[in-house]
Amino acid sequence: MAGPTVVHVEVYGQKYPIKTELDPHYVEQLATFVESRMELAAKTSPSSDAVGLAVLAALNITDEFFRTKTRLTNSSGTLTARAEAIEKIVDQALALAE
């Protein structure tokens, strides 16, 4: 297994060396996504402070993450309940067939 490498990315005009074991192309995609969120924050916020925009972008990304995590958790619970209901139906059908 290869060790960490350094991937150089640029976000909002600032260059960052990222030491990682992740695929360099993936890290570049992450940086591009963060920059797009910062640009969106710049359009909706009167602040031109890069740190403030980064915080707004981070809050936006975190909100999206939490909402997605909640949806997945709820979906998982629904799927489990449905699987249990199907299992009961199958058990009942097998009991009737005996």
Q: Tell whether the model's pLDDT for residue 46 goes beyond 90.
A: no
Best CA proximity match to 60, nearest among 79, 86, 39, 83: 39
How far, CA to CA in Å, does 79 sit from each of 6, 34, 66, 93? 41, 33, 20, 21
Query: So where are the chain's domains?
Result: 5-97
Best CA proximity match to 11, nearest among 41, 75, 67: 41
Mean pLDDT, residues 48-70: 89
pTM of the model: 0.69
Mean pLDDT, residues 47-55: 83
